[in-house]
A and B are shown apart, each in its own frame.
Chain A
Amino acid sequence: MGEIFANLGGGFVNAFQPLNFTMILLGLTIGIIAGALPGITMLNSIVLVLPFTYLMGIVPALLLMIGVYCGGVFGGSITGILFNIPGDPMNVPTTWEGYRLNRKGQTQYALGLAIMSSAFGGLVSALFLAFFAPPFAKFALTFSTVEFFAVVVFGLASVSVLGQASMAAALISLFAGVLLGTVGTEAQYGVERFAFGVPFLKTGVDFVTVLIGLFAIGEVLEQLVVKGAEPAPPTPGARAIPKLPLLALWPLRWPLARGTAVGIAVGGLAGAGATVSSFVSYGLEKQISKEPHLFGTGHAGGLVAAESSNNGSTGGAMAHLLTLGIPGSAATAVMMGAFLIHGIQPGPLLFTKQPEQVYTIFAGMILANVVMIALGFLAALSFTMLMKVPAPILNTFIVVFCFLGAFALRNDLADVWLTMLFGVLGFFMRRWDLPIPPLVMGIILGPMAEQYFLTSMVSHANDLTVFLTRPVSAVVLAFSLLMVVWPFVKTFRARRRHAGGR
């Protein structure tokens, strides 16, 4: 333990060196802004900075990417809270509560909660990384595709409790998303599904087109058509400054702790990143909460659980990368690329051979999460000012960013058309009271669940019972089932109670 403190101390000295510290600041700024902008995801921006890191040493390169990672995971919550347009998929649950809080006039409170819970989740997970990375990673290796499948199913099940919409509506939306996720060339056997011989469809529907189409374009269309149907959000005046509710977090300490723990655990499992953990955490929170009926109406606990969890996943994913050389999320996979380009293999030898670099990265990550409070505050302030911009102008820019992001996916105009199509779909889903988040989760988690399932089956001679004989998987699947069935049980019991004339 003492050795870790000494190493970490050295790490902090390195991280505070001008170049290194600048990279953290730069990375956070890029991450928060890119994360907040609809159409430009955290993953986009981390891929975009990768070529620049070729020219740096590995430490500044990693610190830049960690900055983008931590900032990006948080950034999307700003636009989610302010405009109901989550910048990234992991901020979808945050949006669900945060935008409602905003409409109730508690914009500053919601933004402050998002900043503080992100920073808290990220900080705790970075500390966890610094102290427990090797044993944790070793433990994570005991999980196989069977467990991953169970966790993804839990994520899918949590969608059914999202928001206030009826279970039927949520399930329709979810399965529409799962169906969309099957379009393209299947990864295991190379079978084409729903491609209709169209080359563009063979590569599948990118979830980013769905995310920005349904949320951003759909929202813009909604505002065009139903102008003034909802009361305009309170114009931020002199009190537009986001509050940093340090004390306000105390009553929310349990959602915060649970969210962070779920984030670290889920983030540390290979293949499951910030998005899965934020949905799992939100779903869990709603089940545990004493006031589940308030979820979807602006519940601070739900927001805090989701937002602490997506940042909490960063440390888990980094632990996986640094100690095993195996990226646990799409973002850390890009960082793996940065290591390889510098001729360094992250993995078991990194700790023993280059402890200085490793602990500088740890220190940098801890630092990034502290600095994020200030930068997140500034970003939230700047974006809040955008609320004063007349809607037609603002919406024009939103659409431009969306199309830019869609085109950048693979330099194909077809993705822009697809985004427009999903925009129209998003508009009608709003009209028909079909919730949008389940569809987005379906298209992200559906293909993951399928792959994990198929691999598990090949691996275990098509023995379905493996999902029940492996304890972790059995427990997680049982919780998933409970999550779907519990609402029915509750209704049933309530009815019986009424019938009993109590």
Chain B
Amino acid sequence: MIERHGVVVGFVLVLLGALGALSVAAQEKYPSRPIDFICTWGTGGGADAMARQIGSLAQPILGVALPVSNVPGASGNTGMAQLLASKPDGYTIAVYIQDTLMTIPMGLARYKVDDFEWVTRTQVADSFLFVKSDGPFKTIQELFKHAQANPGKLRVAATGFGTVDDVTVRFLEKKGYKMTTVPYPKPGERYAAALGGHAEVLYEQAGDVLQYLKAGQLKPLIIFAETRHPAFPDVPASKELGLDITLPQFRGIVAKKGTPADRVRAMADAFKKAMDTPQWKKFAEEWYFAPDSHMGPAEFSRWAAGEVDTLDRLVKEFGLRK
């Protein structure tokens, strides 16, 4: 019964949203019509789950729907092109994640870090290398040994070229463990490649592949972090192996530069409230987000700029940029 009432309320909400869109005097109140939410990655992955989760939680707070449209490709930059082609009026926002940020220092992005309003950082999570549980590799040492003996033979399913995934793979190559990055922008294709043995290794965050971990199909070999993760006490951290690379995956929400400050504020406040709900807390726990994930506009833009500097340094240090 509650469900049906919910449906009715939902219909009314969306109708109201649609009416808002039709009204000419849309300038007065913000938001007065649905906010287009571009997810720069395919349906069914971590970025998509985040967008839909926060979108649905922010809907009652903002009073308008945040319909998510998936525009995957080019490490997120296909969707970014769409965001940057839109009007900076606060009615188009997009998911922005670490992999996409990485394309700036790699010279693959056609924008700068200050072309965006950094609305909210919603999550930070460490990345792992996973292999098939019934595969030949039991430990990270075995994997590295194989990579040393057969340079470039092992394939790592990753989100794309010039992404953090790719940089980590190239970092390992510098250390003598040469593997090949195979880009699969759609998360589903990435997991299928790992499960089907079409890529021997998968670079991913634990929350994204939780079901395969629980079902015993995949297992983590290494976490790229300073310390081990409490949920995976047996998985060595990169730092203890002397691999100084910790590029935690972050996901957040951005708008185009020039969006009125009060609208950015309104969105950021709504997302903050959404992230304080028990539903989000449960979601964050299931996906292994760091507890201090949230950042507001000012903090997030400073942090993102700093992150680009770090990545820039890494890229130069390892001569990754061609």
A23 vs chain B, min Cβ distance (A) = 10
Establish whether residues B56 and A199, one from each chain, have CB atoms under 8 Å apart when the complex forms.
no
List residues of B (186-202) whose CB comes within 8 Å of A's CBs.
186, 188-189, 191-193, 195-196, 198-199
Establish whether residues B198 and A185, one from each chain, have CB atoms under 8 Å apart when the complex forms.
no
Q: Which of chain A's residues have a CB closer than 8 A to the CB of B283?
A: 343
Establish whether residues B74 and A189, one from each chain, have CB atoms under 8 Å apart when the complex forms.
yes
Does A182 make an interface contact (CB < 8 A)?
no
Establish whether residues A187 and B43, one from each chain, have CB atoms under 8 Å apart when the complex forms.
no
Establish whether residues B3 and A19, one from each chain, have CB atoms under 8 Å apart when the complex forms.
yes
Establish whether residues B215 and A348, one from each chain, have CB atoms under 8 Å apart when the complex forms.
yes
Of B68, B77, B108, B183, the residue contacting A458 (CB under 8 A) is B183
Q: Mark B104-139, 1 if CB is under 8 A from A, else 0.
A: 000010100000000000000000000000000000
Residue of A whose beta carbon sits closest to that of B181: A458
Interface bin, chain B: 35 or more
Once A188-B161, A345-B210 are accepted as A-B contacts, the answer to whether A459 and B199 lie under 8 Å apart by CB is yes
Interchain CA distance A142-B198 in the complex, whole Å: 8
Establish whether residues B10 and A52, one from each chain, have CB atoms under 8 Å apart when the complex forms.
yes
Establish whether residues B3 and A343, one from each chain, have CB atoms under 8 Å apart when the complex forms.
no
Does B52 make an interface contact (CB < 8 A)?
yes
Question: Which of A329-337, A423-431, A433-441, A480-488 is the contact stretch?
Answer: A329-337
Does B217 make an interface contact (CB < 8 A)?
yes
Residue of A whose beta carbon sits closest to that of B92: A411
Q: Which of chain B's residues have a CB closer than 8 A to the CB of A57?
A: 3
Does B85 make an interface contact (CB < 8 A)?
yes
Establish whether residues B212 and A348, one from each chain, have CB atoms under 8 Å apart when the complex forms.
yes
A49 vs chain B, min Cβ distance (A) = 11
A460 vs chain B, min Cβ distance (A) = 9
A-B contact count (CB 8 A): 165
Of B44, B103, B214, the residue contacting A337 (CB under 8 A) is B44
Does B72 make an interface contact (CB < 8 A)?
yes
Residue of B whose beta carbon sits closest to that of A414: B85
Once A333-B42, A333-B43 are accepted as A-B contacts, the answer to whether A410 and B196 lie under 8 Å apart by CB is no
Q: Which of chain B's residues have a CB closer than 8 A to the CB of A411?
A: 36
Of B59, B69, B74, B210, the residue contacting A190 (CB under 8 A) is B74
Interface centre among B43, B74, B155 (most CB of A within 10 A): B43
Does B141 make an interface contact (CB < 8 A)?
no
Q: Mark A262-290, 1 if CB is under 8 A from B, else 0.
A: 00000000110000000000000000000
A301 vs chain B, min Cβ distance (A) = 34
Of A54, A144, A410, A458, the residue contacting B180 (CB under 8 A) is A458
A25 vs chain B, min Cβ distance (A) = 14
List residues of A (317-343) whose CB comes within 8 Å of B's CBs.
324-328, 330, 333-334, 336-337, 340-341, 343
Does A38 make an interface contact (CB < 8 A)?
no
Interchain CA distance A333-B196 in the complex, whole Å: 19
Residue of A whose beta carbon sits closest to that of B282: A343
Interchain CA distance A249-B215 in the complex, whole Å: 44
A60 vs chain B, min Cβ distance (A) = 7
Q: Which of chain B's residues have a CB closer than 8 A to the CB of A325?
A: 44, 188, 191, 211-212
Does A202 make an interface contact (CB < 8 A)?
yes
Does B140 make an interface contact (CB < 8 A)?
no
Q: Mark B170-186, 1 if CB is under 8 A from A, else 0.
A: 00000000001111111
Establish whether residues B183 and A455, one from each chain, have CB atoms under 8 Å apart when the complex forms.
yes
Q: Which of chain B's residues have a CB closer than 8 A to the CB of A145?
A: 189, 193, 198
Of B69, B82, B161, the residue contacting A189 (CB under 8 A) is B161
Q: Mark B57-78, 1 if CB is under 8 A from A, else 0.
A: 0010000010111111111011
Q: Mark A387-425, 1 if CB is under 8 A from B, else 0.
A: 000000000000000000000001110000000000000
Residue of B whose beta carbon sits closest to that of A460: B155
* A interface residues, how many (CB within 8 angstroms): 54
Q: Which of chain A's residues have a CB closer than 8 A to the CB of B198?
A: 144-145, 459
Establish whether residues A144 and B193, one from each chain, have CB atoms under 8 Å apart when the complex forms.
yes
B288 vs chain A, min Cβ distance (A) = 13
Once A337-B43, A341-B53 are accepted as A-B contacts, the answer to whether A186 and B74 lie under 8 Å apart by CB is yes
List residues of A (169-201) whose CB comes within 8 Å of B's CBs.
184-190, 192, 199-200
Establish whether residues A347 and B48, one from each chain, have CB atoms under 8 Å apart when the complex forms.
no
Establish whether residues A459 and B155, one from each chain, have CB atoms under 8 Å apart when the complex forms.
yes
Does B160 make an interface contact (CB < 8 A)?
yes
Does B49 make an interface contact (CB < 8 A)?
yes
Interchain CA distance A326-B283 in the complex, whole Å: 20
Q: Mark A328-366, 1 if CB is under 8 A from B, else 0.
A: 101001101100110101111100000000000000000
Does B29 make an interface contact (CB < 8 A)?
no
Closest 10 CB pairs of A and B: A336-B44, A190-B74, A55-B6, A333-B43, A199-B85, A187-B73, A141-B196, A348-B215, A347-B211, A345-B211
Residues in chain A within 8 A of chain B (CB atoms): 19, 47, 51-52, 54-57, 60, 141-145, 184-190, 192, 199-200, 202-204, 270-271, 324-328, 330, 333-334, 336-337, 340-341, 343, 345-349, 410-412, 455, 458-459, 461
Residues in chain B within 8 A of chain A (CB atoms): 3-4, 6-7, 9-11, 14, 36, 42-44, 48-49, 52-53, 56, 59, 65, 67-75, 77-78, 81-82, 84-85, 103, 108, 110, 152, 155, 160-162, 180-186, 188-189, 191-193, 195-196, 198-199, 210-212, 214-215, 217, 282-283, 286
Extra contacts, 10 of them, besides A52-B14, A199-B81, A340-B49 (Cβ < 8 A), are: A47-B67, A141-B192, A185-B81, A187-B72, A190-B75, A333-B44, A336-B188, A337-B49, A345-B210, A458-B182
